[in-house]
Amino acid sequence: MGNKTVAIVTGASGGIGRAVAERFGSLGHDVVVHYGGGAERAAEVVEAVRAAGGRAIAVRADVADGAEVAALFARAQEEFGGVDVVVHTAGIMPLAPIAEMDLADFDRVQRVNVRGTFVVDQAAARSVRAGGAIVNFSTSVTRLQQPGYGAYAASKGAVESLTLILARELRGRDVTVNAVAPGPTATPLFLEGKTPQAIEHIASLAPLGRLGEPADIADAVVGLVASRWINGQVVYVNGGIA
């Protein structure tokens, strides 16, 4: 990749997505800030990317809708001339025991997390230029097997399979495909509804004795994008919790 990298970051109005977008901005990259809801937050991220040194636009799309995702990639092409990096952080995480989960909630998780990854990866596979990278998002819960996370972990197991297969399907393209699997990370989504005691307990599970920060996850994403010899891998970014 040249000095001017064009990156699409899905879910960029959220905690981890925002950290990734801002980090790309600090590297001088052009960033398409994707959001599904929260236009105001997305606008804030655009300003933050610009303040960090990059160019940015915000584009709304339903990640599971092929036409909307195609339009998202078309905007990147029109505005910045192409796509080099796709970081797909967008996802949802409704929790319930398997015996109790409403099937409509299960279907929603699979639509956003599995179909959404498939649709975004399909567009990325058709668009990302040589020397580029695709980074999907899994979760350390696939190893931790925590009760209540059945539907979510199942969706992320599918994401890992898609990631590993796409890496091999892009043979000869000089495009890497990997997944990041964060552990507990101090984002508004994670902290919501948890007592200080629960947060302290979860933080204590990591040998490093703290929760991850969005910046920790962004570090891993930037490293995967920069490396040309890490490919077809799921990288656990959790401070040693699993």
Q: Is the pLDDT of residue 22 over 50?
A: yes
Distances (CA, A) of 196 to 53, 104, 206: 36, 31, 16
Q: Which residue in the list 35, 149, 152, 236 is annotated as catalytic?
A: 152
What's the pLDDT tens digit per position in 210-226?
999 999 999 999 999 99
Q: Assess whether pLDDT exceeds 70 at residue 78.
A: yes
Alpha helix (H) ranges present in 81-149? Answer: 103-109, 116-127, 141-144
Domains and CATH numbers, the chain: 6-185+214-236 (3.40.50.720)
What tokens were used for 121?
């990866």
pLDDT in tens, 102-131: 999 999 999 999 999 999 999 999 999 999
Pairing of strands 234-237, 176-182: parallel
Q: Could you confirm whether 152 is annotated as catalytic?
A: yes
Give the pLDDT confidence score for residue 41 in this predicted structure.
96
Q: Is the pLDDT of residue 15 over 70?
A: yes
Question: Is the separation of the CB atoms in 221 and 235 below 8 Å?
Answer: no
Confidence of residue 182 (pLDDT cuts 50, 70, 90): very high
Measure the CA–CA gap between 62 and 192, rounded to whole angstroms. Answer: 24
Q: For residue 54, is pLDDT > 90? A: yes
pLDDT at residue 190 in the model: 84
In this prediction, residues 163-190 reach a mean pLDDT of 95
User: Which pLDDT score, from 0 to 100, does residue 109 have?
Assistant: 98
Side-chain half-sphere CA neighbours of 25 within 13 A: 24
Taking residues 13-28, what's their average pLDDT? 96
Distances (CA, A) of 27 to 23, 52, 82, 219: 6, 8, 18, 12
Residue 169 has pLDDT above 60, yes or no: yes
pLDDT at 58 over 60: yes
pLDDT in the model for residue 3:
58
